[in-house]
């Protein structure tokens, strides 16, 4: 109901704008050149140009005129008679419709700004409260409803809605965060050691039960590297205890299993007493467990090499161990990874924990047996690898876990201080008085100062001054500029230095702004920008959304380390483009990437040591390099079971080239890859493409996808497709202990031809062709930065400024940092 008057008002404004109508000569052009086809609602693309009026304020209508402009400008329309139109005629028409469009946008930007008033999104909200309360350990993002998206990002006011549900979550989340921090600030820092032998979960794994009587899943008491059969048989005590510290230090629980649902072990005697930063130290080593040949399942009489719990020796492998925080609700949060070596060593991690969280180690490379397993891929006659845990030591919460000043005093002073920090500008007197009323009312009924201040603070955190980024039409005030800059490059509120520069007005000087851009990009917090940017631009937030099919890809079963490494690779790689100002074209190809041992093996590259990601030069003959051949991208563009050149091709056009293909026409069934192995996707698509109306788009969409057919659903190189039907059987055992049942079927053909005619044989040649579009790749990136940085979609009128930005960065080969600088200095960024 409320919308109607607003909308009428908007329309009235639009109609009142001078030049908001199309000049008469365009009508004549349309009548002469377009109307033969575009005459009714049944016309191509549903576009009836004879009745299409000009309503720039209606986004859908506006977008149609942009498409008309572009189609005529690029010569795509009118299609049948290209010779009948001179370029001057085209130009005259496109200029005639461009003029009122540009004028409309100019007027709107001047009176209302390009960007629409927006609230913080949930990433920004979390960072802001962490910053405000000095509590980097807070996890708040998921307490708020998902944000709406415009042009890929959660940054535009148009889609950042507020409902009563959103408000109730704000109130809850703010109060909860304040109380958590308050609680944490009272907890003393302590250091305590938790011996593996004292952990019930590990002990339970030592004793067999009806649900766990497999040595593959069990824990083994060891002293040094030697098994302790007497302890296992419970003839000897579980530990020597305090009486013999030297021996106790050598006691451990070893296991050949990783940690996963059904076989979870964790340090259960520790639960974080409060939120905060903690230091964890683990004393661990790898172990070798000898094997005996025996029956696995009573019924089926399957035999395999099984761990002998009475016989262990010094480890022979290095095993990555990932540490997760485990909530009481069973949720796991990644804290870090280290490599466990045969030599016992202490590994330290600085982590953030929430109250009640426990610590769960996962030796992720090891076997994850599932009911019905027939063997372990790790077990042989010689034995099998394992890890051993001696103890975990926890120090924390490290002091300074947060700052909510609630020492009784002057409520007005405290509130004013809080609001100054919260509002990213000095609060108005009326604003302070408004929220002071809540504090006073509370104090009037109860003398509890803390509760009263909490009420006031919660209210401030629900108020528009905090939740909304205040910008006024025209050039941004230096306060607004500081916020825009820091929510761009840190995804977080401006720090003291930025606010000081804003207060003095110096920030608006180009050289100061340039220096601040560099400072922000060089700070560790730039990671919050880069990660969030990649989460949305490349859909990395959806990396875990599909799981590899267990039948087709058993070796990927629950391989969390692979996914975690793939995500880090892309984050580190893109971070390098920004840090080292590398050319935007590196997105398509680069001679370096970040790898660890697991990922290097996945890519069939020379070994890299350990689980830490390392900057690695790629061999000259490697097809890897650039985003397209990274496991993360190849996974988010597949569905876990099959890959589709159409989906991957459309994705590349949209995300990398900035040319989103039109949606498929309604009623056309999707082409589904055939997992029975009878036909290849190419054979199916060739049929599709022989239909002229399909070919028009598919000759553009499919080729990039064809080039990526050499990569499976997790980005591993393949020469042949896998199938569940036809083909050659493959011997092996998956990570879940089940025998391979997939087959190798048809060979992969990754060749193709670009819409422009150039042929390519494989991904390497395809990338070479793509690299010719250096400016287009840079343009797409600039557009992403503009949406992300200004919160406004890139519009028709913004195109000129985008080209100016590109011109300015051309001399640096469109270096990614240069592009960022140019965006920040542009009038799109410095104006609302």
Partner 1 sequence: MSRSNFITRRAIPRRAFLRGAGVALGLPMLDAMRPAFAADETSAPPRRMLAICNNLGLLPGGFLPKTAGRDYELSPYLKTLAELREDFTAVSGVSHPDVDGSHSSEVCFLTAAPHPANGGFRNSISLDQFMADQIGVHTRFPSITLGVNVNRGPRSLTWTGSGVMIPCEDSAASVYRRLFLQGTEEEIERQITRLKLGESIMDSVAEHAGGLNAQLGPRDRERLDQYATGVRELERRLVLARAWERKPKPKAPQPPPTDPDSSRAYMEKVRLMYDMSRLAFETDSTRLITLFLDSASSPAIDIEGVNISDGYHNLSHHGRNESKLAQLEAIDQWHMKLLAGLLGKLKGVQEAGQPLLDRTMVLYGSNFGDANKHTTDNLPIILAGGGFQHGQHLAFDPQRNYPLPNLFLSMAQRMGIAADRFASSTGTMRGLEFRG
Chain positions 438 to 477 lying near partner 1, rule: CB under 8 A, are: 438, 441-442, 445, 455, 458-459, 462-465, 467-468, 473
Work out whether 547 is an interface residue with partner 1 (CB under 8 A).
yes
Work out whether 164 is an interface residue with partner 1 (CB under 8 A).
yes
Based on CB atoms, which residue is closest to partner 1, 3 or 731? Answer: 3
Based on CB atoms, which residue is closest to partner 1, 370 or 699? Answer: 370
Work out whether 362 is an interface residue with partner 1 (CB under 8 A).
yes
Q: 168: Cβ–Cβ under 8 A, 6 or more apart, which residues?
A: none
Which member of 564, 674, 712, 801 binds partner 1 (CB under 8 A)?
A: 564
DSSP letter, residue 776: H
Of residues 11-40, which lie at the interface with partner 1 (CB under 8 A)?
13
Strands (E), 188-255: 190-195, 220-223, 226-227, 251-255
**Torsion region of 373: left, alpha or beta (phi above 0 gives left; psi -120 to 50 gives alpha):** beta
Long-range contacts for 418-421 (Cβ within 8 Å, ≥24 apart)?
Answer: 418/456, 418/457, 418/460, 419/460, 419/465, 421/132
Of residues 305-324, which lie at the interface with partner 1 (CB under 8 A)?
322, 324
Where does residue 241 rank: exposed (0-12), middle (13-18), buried (19+ CB within 10 A)?
middle
- Number of CB atoms found within 10 A of residue 106's CB: 13
DSSP assignment of 662-719 equals PPPPTTPPPPPP-TTSSS-HHHHHHHHHTSHHHHHHHHHHHHHHHHGGGB-TTS-B-S
Work out whether 674 is an interface residue with partner 1 (CB under 8 A).
no
681 and 671 Cβ atoms separated by less than 8 Å: yes
The helix/strand/coil state of 474 is: coil
Helices of type H across 538-620: 560-579, 597-602
Which member of 162, 345, 691, 696 binds partner 1 (CB under 8 A)?
A: 162
Work out whether 665 is an interface residue with partner 1 (CB under 8 A).
no
CB of 165 to partner 1, least distance (A): 5
Work out whether 635 is an interface residue with partner 1 (CB under 8 A).
no
CB of 756 to partner 1, least distance (A): 37
Of residues 205-244, which lie at the interface with partner 1 (CB under 8 A)?
210-211
Work out whether 302 is an interface residue with partner 1 (CB under 8 A).
no
Work out whether 117 is an interface residue with partner 1 (CB under 8 A).
yes
Which member of 47, 68, 72, 180 binds partner 1 (CB under 8 A)?
A: 180
Cα 167 versus chain centre, distance: 26
Q: Which of the stretches 108-116, 228-236, 503-511, 676-684 binds partner 1 when contact is defined by CB under 8 A?
A: 108-116
Count of residues that bind partner 1 according to CB under 8 A: 82
Of residues 141-160, which lie at the interface with partner 1 (CB under 8 A)?
142-145, 157, 160
Work out whether 560 is an interface residue with partner 1 (CB under 8 A).
yes
What is the spatial distance between Cα 104 and Cα 224, in angstroms, rounded to a whole number? Answer: 78
Based on CB atoms, which residue is closest to partner 1, 434 or 527? Answer: 434
Interaction pattern, residues 686-725, with partner 1; x per rule: CB under 8 A: ----------------------------------------
Pairing of strands 743-747, 728-729: antiparallel
Cα 260 versus chain centre, distance: 23
Which member of 328, 399, 413, 768 binds partner 1 (CB under 8 A)?
A: 328
Which member of 544, 660, 729, 732 binds partner 1 (CB under 8 A)?
A: 544
What is the spatial distance between Cα 479 and Cα 498, in angstroms, rounded to a whole number? Answer: 9
Work out whether 9 is an interface residue with partner 1 (CB under 8 A).
yes
Which member of 112, 212, 341, 813 binds partner 1 (CB under 8 A)?
A: 112
CB of 332 to partner 1, least distance (A): 5
Work out whether 179 is an interface residue with partner 1 (CB under 8 A).
yes
CB of 411 to partner 1, least distance (A): 15
Interaction pattern, residues 779-808, with partner 1; x per rule: CB under 8 A: ------------------------------
733 and 684 Cβ atoms separated by less than 8 Å: no
CB of 210 to partner 1, least distance (A): 6
Where does residue 712 rank: exposed (0-12), middle (13-18), buried (19+ CB within 10 A)?
buried
Based on CB atoms, which residue is closest to partner 1, 204 or 546? Answer: 546
Based on CB atoms, which residue is closest to partner 1, 539 or 589? Answer: 539
- Positive or negative, the Cα torsion across 415, 416, 422, 428? positive
Work out whether 71 is an interface residue with partner 1 (CB under 8 A).
no
- Positive or negative, the Cα torsion across 331, 335, 339, 345? negative
């Amino acid at each position: 109901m409320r919308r109607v008057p607003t909308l009428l008002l908007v329309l009235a404004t639009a109609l009142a704008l001078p030049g908001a109508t199309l000049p008469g000569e365009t009508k004549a052009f349309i009548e002469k050149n377009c109307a033969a086809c575009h005459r009714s609602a049944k016309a191509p693309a549903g576009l009836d140009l004879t009745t299409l009026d000009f309503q720039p304020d209606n986004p859908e209508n506006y977008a149609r005129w942009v498409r008309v402009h572009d189609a005529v400008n690029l010569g795509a329309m009118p299609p049948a008679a290209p010779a009948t139109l001179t370029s001057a005629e085209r130009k005259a028409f496109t200029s005639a419709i461009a003029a009122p469009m540009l004028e409309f946008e100019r007027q709107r930007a001047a009176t209302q700004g390009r960007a629409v008033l927006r609230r913080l999104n949930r990433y920004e909200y979390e960072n802001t409260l962490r910053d405000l309360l000095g509590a980097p350990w807070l996890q708040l993002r998921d307490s708020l409803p998902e944000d709406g998206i415009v042009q890929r990002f959660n940054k535009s006011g148009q889609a950042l809605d507020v409902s009563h549900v959103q408000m109730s979550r704000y109130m809850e989340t703010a109060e909860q965060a304040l109380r958590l921090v308050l609680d944490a600030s009272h907890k003393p820092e302590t250091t305590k050691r938790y011996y593996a032998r004292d952990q019930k979960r590990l002990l339970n794994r030592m004793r067999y039960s009806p649900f766990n009587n497999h040595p593959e899943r069990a824990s083994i008491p060891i002293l040094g590297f030697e098994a302790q059969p007497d302890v296992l048989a419970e003839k000897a005590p579980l530990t020597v205890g305090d009486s013999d510290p030297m021996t106790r230090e050598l006691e451990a629980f070893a296991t050949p299993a990783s940690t996963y649902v059904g076989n979870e072990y964790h340090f259960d005697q520790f639960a974080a007493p409060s939120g905060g930063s903690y230091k964890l130290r683990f004393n661990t080593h790898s172990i070798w467990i000898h094997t005996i040949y025996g029956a696995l399942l009573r019924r089926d009489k399957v035999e395999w090499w099984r761990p002998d719990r009475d016989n262990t020796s010094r480890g022979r492998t290095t095993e990555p161990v990932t540490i997760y925080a485990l909530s009481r609700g069973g949720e796991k949060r990644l804290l870090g990874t280290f490599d466990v070596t045969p030599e016992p060593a202490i590994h330290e991690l600085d982590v953030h924990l929430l109250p009640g969280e426990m610590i769960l180690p996962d030796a992720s490379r090891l076997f994850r047996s599932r009911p019905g397993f027939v063997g372990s891929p790790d077990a042989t006659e010689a034995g099998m690898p394992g890890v051993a845990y001696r103890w975990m030591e926890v120090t924390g919460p490290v002091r300074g876990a947060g700052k909510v000043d609630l020492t009784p005093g002057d409520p007005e002073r405290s509130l004013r201080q809080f609001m100054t920090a919260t509002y990213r500008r000095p609060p108005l007197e009326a604003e302070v008085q408004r929220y002071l009323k809540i504090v006073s009312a509370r104090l009037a009924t109860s003398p509890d100062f803390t509760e009263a201040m909490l009420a006031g603070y919660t209210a401030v955190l629900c108020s528009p001054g905090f939740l909304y980024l205040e910008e006024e039409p025209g050039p941004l005030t230096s306060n607004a500029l500081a916020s825009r800059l820091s929510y761009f490059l840190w995804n977080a509120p401006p720090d003291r230095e930025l606010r000081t520069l804003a207060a003095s007005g110096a920030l608006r000087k180009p050289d100061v702004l340039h220096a601040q851009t560099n400072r922000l990009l060089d700070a560790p917090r730039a990671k919050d920008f880069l990660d969030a940017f990649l989460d949305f631009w490349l859909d990395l937030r959806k990396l875990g959304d599909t799981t590899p099919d267990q039948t087709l890809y058993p070796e990927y079963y629950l391989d969390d380390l692979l996914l975690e490494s793939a995500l880090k690779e892309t984050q580190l790689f893109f971070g390098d483009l920004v840090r080292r100002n590398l050319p935007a074209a590196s997105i398509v190809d680069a001679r370096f990437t970040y790898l660890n041992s697991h990922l290097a093996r996945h890519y069939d590259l020379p070994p890299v040591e350990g689980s830490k990601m390392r900057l690695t030069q790629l061999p000259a003959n490697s097809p890897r390099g650039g985003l397209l051949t990274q496991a993360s991208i190849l996974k988010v563009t597949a569905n876990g079971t099959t890959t589709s050149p159409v989906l991957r091709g459309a994705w590349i056009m949209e995300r990398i080239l900035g040319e989103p293909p039109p949606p498929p026409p309604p009623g056309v069934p999707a082409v589904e890859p055939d997992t029975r192995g009878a036909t290849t996707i190419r054979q199916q698509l060739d049929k599709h493409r022989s239909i002229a109306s399909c070919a028009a788009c598919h000759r553009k969409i499919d080729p990039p996808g064809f080039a990526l057919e050499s990569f499976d659903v997790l980005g591993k190189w393949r020469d042949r497709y896998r199938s569940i039907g036809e083909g050659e059987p493959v011997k092996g055992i998956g990570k879940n202990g089940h025998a391979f049942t997939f087959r190798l079927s048809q060979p992969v053909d990754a060749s193709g031809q670009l819409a422009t005619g150039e042929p390519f044989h494989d991904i390497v040649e395809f990338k070479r062709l793509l690299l010719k579009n250096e400016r287009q790749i840079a343009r797409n990136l600039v557009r992403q930065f503009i949406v992300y940085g200004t919160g406004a979609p890139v519009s028709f009128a913004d195109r000129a400024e985008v080209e100016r930005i590109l011109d300015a960065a051309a001399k640096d080969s469109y270096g990614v940092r240069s592009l960022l600088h140019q965006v920040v200095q542009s009038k799109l960024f410095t104006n609302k």
